Structure 1
Amino acid sequence: MKAIILYASKSGNTKKLADQMATQIGCEAVKITSTSTSATLNLEEYDLIFLGTGLYAGTPNEDIVKFLNGLNLKNPKQFALFITWGGAPRSDKMALGKLRAILEGKGQKVLAEHFAAYGGWKGILMKRGHPKPDEIAAAGEWAKGIMVKMEKS
């Protein structure tokens, strides 16, 4: 099974998870920018796509949303979502729902299981030091577990 990790990260938090996941499962982690397209990344050659984003005011990174809206794949892929955020609890559910709706609207399959690293919320200040080393390690283990499950199915 061939996998790739796509992510968008403004502060570097999501990148930390993406890099650890890439190390654990032996694949490439690619940052999505405003100019990224499914054609430039040649996603047709992958079976599983890990897709990660930070959340900003409860919404996914705008580069990820733009990328997904322009997604044009001939064959459906499996997507596994992961996020980092610090904000109102449960704001992740809406953002994950938005990502899922875009992907499924384009005929893609989204795994029910996702990974989330929550940095908390204290008034207007997020906790510093997020994600913690144990969250980074857990992201790698999660990705490895997804690969094992997908290879068995």
Structure 2
Amino acid sequence: MKTWVLYYSRGGNTKKIAEAMAEELEVPKAEQVPPAYPPENVQLLFLGTGIYAGKPDSKMVEFIRTLNTDRVKNAAVFGTNGGQDTAIETVKSLLREKGINVIDETFSCKGKYFLFINRNKPDSEDLKAAKVFARKVYDSLKA
């Protein structure tokens, strides 16, 4: 099943999660948006964003708005946050508005925020949980 992992990350937290998911699923490396754009006929797109002040980054929102839905059949959403993870639902809603089937289950974890908040996040347990999430979603669609 053709699978892609895309993300937007300012500080590198979401990138770590995306790379762990890509490694678990043995897909080409995770790529940051923009300029990454999914190739034709992606069966499963993992789409991750850093969450800033409770919102997804504007670059991620713009990417979703320009996404050619003929290229993506299913999407799973993940993110990292300093405190709130409400932006995950925003991303899911934007994808659904485009007509993409969005997996209900999501993944979110704390990310390092400034110097001392969530200092060692995401940690090895978060990366392990991200891999479990990715595998579960992938296997559920493959079946």
TM-score of the alignment, normalized to the shorter chain, above 0.5: yes
- Percent identity over paired residues: 35
Aligned to 1:20: 20
Q: Does the Cα contact within 8 Å between 2:6 and 2:48 map onto a contact in 1?
A: yes
Question: Does 2:105 correspond to 1:113?
Answer: yes
Number of equivalent positions: 141
- Alpha-carbon shift at residue 135 of structure 1 (Å): 0.3
Aligned to 1:66: 62
- Which runs of at least 4 in structure 1 moved beyond 4 Å after TM superposition? none
Partner Cα separation in structure 1 for residue 64 and residue 74 of structure 2:
14
Aligned to 1:52: 48
Aligned to 1:5: 5
Note closer, same or farther for the CA distance 1:119–1:13 as it changes in structure 2 (3 Å cut): closer
Q: Does the Cα contact within 8 Å between 2:41 and 2:73 map onto a contact in 1?
A: no
Aligned to 2:85: 92
Normalised to the residue count of structure 2, the TM-score between the two structures is 0.89
Aligned to 1:140: 131
State the structure with more CA Rg.
1
Partner Cα separation in structure 2 for residue 11 and residue 113 of structure 1:
25
- Alpha-carbon shift at residue 75 of structure 1 (Å): 5.8
Partner Cα separation in structure 2 for residue 116 and residue 135 of structure 1:
9
Cα RMSD between the aligned structures? 2.0
Quick check: which one's helix share is greater? 1
Runs of 5+ consecutive residues of structure 1 not aligned to the other structure: none
Normalised to the residue count of structure 1, the TM-score between the two structures is 0.84
User: 3-state SS of the aligned residue for 1:100?
Assistant: helix
Runs of 5+ consecutive residues of structure 2 not aligned to the other structure: none
